[in-house]
Chain A
Amino acid sequence: MRPLTIAVTGLNATDNPAPGVPVIRSIRAGSPEPCRIIGLAYDPLDPGNYMEGIADDIYLMPYPSQGAQVLLERIAHIHGQTPIDVILPTLDSELPTYLKIQGDLRDLGVRMFVPHESQLRLRSKAKFNELKDNLGIEVPKSITLTESSQIPKLDDDFRFPVMVKGQFYDAYIAYSPMEVEGHFQRIRSKWGLPVIVQQFITGEEYDVVAVGDGRGGLVGAVPMRKMQLTDKGKAWGGITINDPGLNRFIEDAMSKLAWQGPCELEIMREQTTGKHYMLEINPRFPAWVFLSVGAGRNLPWATVELALGRDVAPMEPAAPGVLFLRHSFDQICTLADYEALTTAGELHRTNK
């Protein structure tokens, strides 16, 4: 019998790593039988392509910008060589494209367990207020700016400092309307309009990896406090925590969202009031998801089981104090492997 075969995207493991490699490690740790892992890479130089014990086969994929049809053709081709049971897309940018072909994949017998399109839309920073207005999830007060004439009026509604954010990337703190003006111009020229101004909240920030069952139930969540940061503010080390108030907030938010599949939540606990605010929802695993395995809550494997239609019992909150520290590692790769990926777009480690 052929082994359970799972395809995972996002094998880029640089200083701002994609979640593919840790997701694969989690699956290998969770699966009771050895399974076959197919790495779906966007670049021959993705380090995950070359790591021992990660992917058995690697295929280069078209960029999502090429559209759903091209992606489907590529997956159908791979599926013809190596039948795939489950695909776990792990990158934000590819999710809309995977959602487009979900039905076709199902017809091929390939399953996923990912958020709905309507849930992806909720993450738009320009519409983040709707989380509160429509669902009752606390978010920091925010306003969208489309012209600088709105800036002097900010004084009426916001207490400084505020955060000034681009619709996709970039966030700056501003202590005065003058500073908002400067950030507004910079962000506008880089990312376009609108620019978002958000109430700055002083407090403790937590990162959470969670999986929802899509019917309002929380399958499991592992909250973490960052202990070490890269210069981009990404976690390079962190520790699990167990705060009943935070756990309730997570459970409540996931239920209101009826979130399906994995996500990373960024949550702020306001110092003075103890109130929790949702800062961001990312519709995928974070790169530190292997911490969930360390904490005994293997969320990637749970997602595979859910994709396969199996029942997964809700997990109790994990014990606090499980610590992770990331390290980088220089591995020696063969030019032949690089050549295989560059010229054929495939690399196979297993003998078929």
Chain B
Amino acid sequence: MTKQAYEKPTIIKHTGGLANKFGRGISRRTLSRIDGIPVTSLIEEHGSPLFVFSEHRIRQRYREAYRAFSLRYPKVQFSWSYKTNYLDAICRIYHDEGSWAEVVSEMEYEMARRLGIPGDKILFNGPYKPKPALARALDEGAKVHLDHYEELYQAEQIAKEHGKKYPVSIRVNMDTGIHPRWDRFGFNYDNGEALDAALRLHTGGHLYLDGLHCHIGTFILEPDAYRQAASKLAALAKEVRNKTGMPISYIDVGGGFASRSTLHEQYAPGTDSSPPIDDYAEAVTSALLEAGFGADEMPTLMLETGRALIDDAGFMLTRVVGNKRLADGRRAMVIDAGVNVLFTSFWYRHDVLPVIDRGGMLEETVVYGPLCMNIDIVRPSVHLPPLEVDDALVIRPVGAYNVTQWMQFIRLRPKVVLIGTEGQVDLIREAETVDTIKHLEKTPPRLSARSADE
């Protein structure tokens, strides 16, 4: 007698109104390869958890975005948002594609300079630029985006000290019809503060207005907000031109385009509900084209898109370390990647895809990370087939923010590899060791004299 294929015996109770979750309505999905490379072989070679980036996807998304804007508008320049992902190898890919750098601190500024990016191809944002950093940036010709009056005065002071006249830009916040309204970055448009700052800057005599910038929010699902932002910045540019006779050279609409990730509170998956990049491009460029700039005074359109470009190029490979049944009957699972390295799990409902599906009933499962912390929940609820210890899972999209916001907490941070366009797999960040953490520490001699076993 031939034996039947085995799957772990399972019984699932039909709970009121939710029985369909166990029916045929749920699709079974797996992901066994990334860019053709088997997930299991990546884990075999590099261990788990493991961050994997796809160079092919990075370049593809960048080119799609660049095409979407450059087909509609004559002068377009992207700048890679360092805070979204500042691994050197990743930044180099964007720079290779033609991106400048967008930085928000002197640390990121230095990172960009170390990669050989000249000052005049760095946009310097952020609400705090220490004076030496501001002086250096101005001196190196960086596009400095002033956030508030104190910074404006400081830039003026530096110009005086250096005996030079520097180009600067101002950051502008405004009502774009969306909520929450970000009014903390820069000068307000709607109450006239931004115009005031622009004119003040002009009359000071040490600075001149080079561009206008805004950062209206993050994960914005409404392209029309960018139409409003672009058209307000264009109106401001024209007003400044009328009052001072000086045209500006660029308008920067910042970042914030939604990736295809899914917020916890969103109903439909991001692959359905996030607008395509063309919709954002259409909104921004049509507003600029309708603004009526003279042919010789068309400002360059700057973009600082981060998340929408890199998110789905990043994957987290992880393994099951334990199966559980919670006291209330729910199925739970512990995996070896937690929220310390998947920070975006707090906001996004990432895909959690098994590498293989041996069949068996799908069941709603809580996916916990390995930290001894109650908040370490990677997915509060996802339908998964029965899985065994050591079975691999892929979590996506995790390309944005995770490798910058990750924490060294309880566990060390894992390796990061990059799959090249020819299928080569390169280590781009080594796994941390205890020394990585401890070599910065100093123990006073009075405490180091005694060892623990005394």
A and B touch in the complex (CB under 8 A): yes
Whether A97 pairs with B25 at a CB distance below 8 angstroms is no
Assembled-state Cα–Cα distance A66/B349 (Å): 12
Whether A68 pairs with B27 at a CB distance below 8 angstroms is no
Whether B272 pairs with A43 at a CB distance below 8 angstroms is no
A341 within 8 A of B: yes
A308 within 8 A of B: no
- Nearest CB on B from A64, distance (A): 6
A225 within 8 A of B: no
A93 within 8 A of B: yes
8 Å CB interface, B247-277 against A:
265, 267-269, 271-273
Task: Say which one of B14-22, B154-162, B300-308 lies at the interface with A.
Answer: B14-22
B427 within 8 A of A: no
Whether A96 pairs with B273 at a CB distance below 8 angstroms is yes
Whether A146 pairs with B180 at a CB distance below 8 angstroms is yes
Interface string of A26-61 (1 = CB under 8 A from B): 000000000000000011110000000000000011
A70 within 8 A of B: yes
Task: Select one of B17, B18, B179, B265 contacting A126, CB under 8 A.
Answer: B179
- Given A67-B271, A68-B272, A74-B25, are A43 and B265 also a contact pair (CB < 8 Å)? no
- Nearest CB on A from B149, distance (A): 23
Assembled-state Cα–Cα distance A343/B179 (Å): 44
- Nearest CB on A from B312, distance (A): 15
A317 within 8 A of B: no
A344 within 8 A of B: yes
A194 within 8 A of B: yes
Query: Which residue of chain B has its CB nearest to the CB of A43?
Result: B20
Whether A60 pairs with B181 at a CB distance below 8 angstroms is no
Assembled-state Cα–Cα distance A117/B317 (Å): 37
Task: Select one of B24, B25, B177, B181 contacting A63, CB under 8 A.
Answer: B25
A65 within 8 A of B: yes
Whether A96 pairs with B23 at a CB distance below 8 angstroms is no
Assembled-state Cα–Cα distance A68/B271 (Å): 9
Whether B268 pairs with A64 at a CB distance below 8 angstroms is yes
Query: Which residue of chain A has its CB nearest to the CB of B27?
Result: A70
B19, B25, B27, B177, most chain A CB atoms within 10 A? B25
What A residues does B23 contact at CB under 8 A? 44, 60, 341-343, 345
Query: Which residue of chain B has its CB nearest to the CB of A344?
Result: B24
Assembled-state Cα–Cα distance A344/B19 (Å): 12
Query: Which residue of chain A has its CB nearest to the CB of B271?
Result: A67
Assembled-state Cα–Cα distance A73/B27 (Å): 9
A296 within 8 A of B: no
- Given A45-B17, A60-B23, A345-B24, are A65 and B267 also a contact pair (CB < 8 Å)? yes
- Given A43-B19, A44-B20, A345-B23, are A193 and B268 also a contact pair (CB < 8 Å)? no
- What total of chain A residues lie within 8 Å of the partner, measured CB to CB? 34
A62 within 8 A of B: yes
Query: Which residue of chain A has its CB nearest to the CB of B181?
Result: A146
B373 within 8 A of A: no
Whether A97 pairs with B19 at a CB distance below 8 angstroms is no
Whether B267 pairs with A66 at a CB distance below 8 angstroms is no
- Given A146-B179, A344-B24, are A65 and B19 also a contact pair (CB < 8 Å)? no
- Given A60-B23, A126-B179, A146-B180, are A65 and B17 also a contact pair (CB < 8 Å)? no
B37 within 8 A of A: no
Assembled-state Cα–Cα distance A274/B198 (Å): 51
B26 within 8 A of A: yes
Whether B180 pairs with A61 at a CB distance below 8 angstroms is no
Query: Which residue of chain B has its CB nearest to the CB of A93?
Result: B267
Assembled-state Cα–Cα distance A146/B217 (Å): 15
Whether B25 pairs with A61 at a CB distance below 8 angstroms is yes
Assembled-state Cα–Cα distance A68/B267 (Å): 12
Assembled-state Cα–Cα distance A126/B20 (Å): 33
- Nearest CB on B from A190, distance (A): 12
A144 within 8 A of B: yes
Assembled-state Cα–Cα distance A126/B179 (Å): 10
- Nearest CB on A from B172, distance (A): 19
- Nearest CB on B from A156, distance (A): 17
Assembled-state Cα–Cα distance A192/B19 (Å): 29
What B residues does A192 contact at CB under 8 A? 265
Task: Select one of A66, A74, A345 contacting B269, CB under 8 A.
Answer: A66
A100 within 8 A of B: yes
Interface string of B210-247 (1 = CB under 8 A from A): 00000000000000000000000000000000000000
Interface string of B3-39 (1 = CB under 8 A from A): 0000000000010111110111111000000000000
Interface string of A124-164 (1 = CB under 8 A from B): 00110000000000000000101000000000000000000
Whether A62 pairs with B267 at a CB distance below 8 angstroms is no
What B residues does A66 contact at CB under 8 A? 25-27, 269
What B residues does A43 contact at CB under 8 A? 17-20
Query: Which residue of chain B has its CB nearest to the CB of A65?
Result: B267
B24, B180, B181, most chain A CB atoms within 10 A? B24
Interface string of B136-169 (1 = CB under 8 A from A): 0000000000000000000000000000000000
- Nearest CB on A from B280, distance (A): 16
B27, B177, B180, B273, most chain A CB atoms within 10 A? B27
Query: Which residue of chain B has its CB nearest to the CB of A341?
Result: B23
Interfacial residues, chain B to chain A (CB-CB below 8 A): 14, 16-20, 22-27, 177, 179-181, 265, 267-269, 271-273
Jot down 30 A-B pairs with beta carbons below 8 A, ordered by A: A42-B25, A43-B19, A43-B20, A44-B20, A60-B20, A60-B23, A62-B26, A63-B25, A64-B267, A65-B267, A66-B26, A66-B27, A66-B269, A67-B271, A67-B272, A68-B268, A68-B271, A68-B272, A70-B27, A126-B179, A144-B179, A146-B180, A146-B181, A192-B265, A193-B179, A193-B180, A194-B179, A342-B14, A342-B23, A346-B24
If A43-B18, A66-B269, A67-B271 are given as contacts, then 13 extra A-B residue pairs at C-beta distance below 8 Å, sorted by A number, are: A42-B20, A43-B19, A44-B20, A60-B23, A65-B267, A65-B269, A66-B25, A67-B269, A68-B268, A69-B271, A96-B272, A146-B181, A345-B23
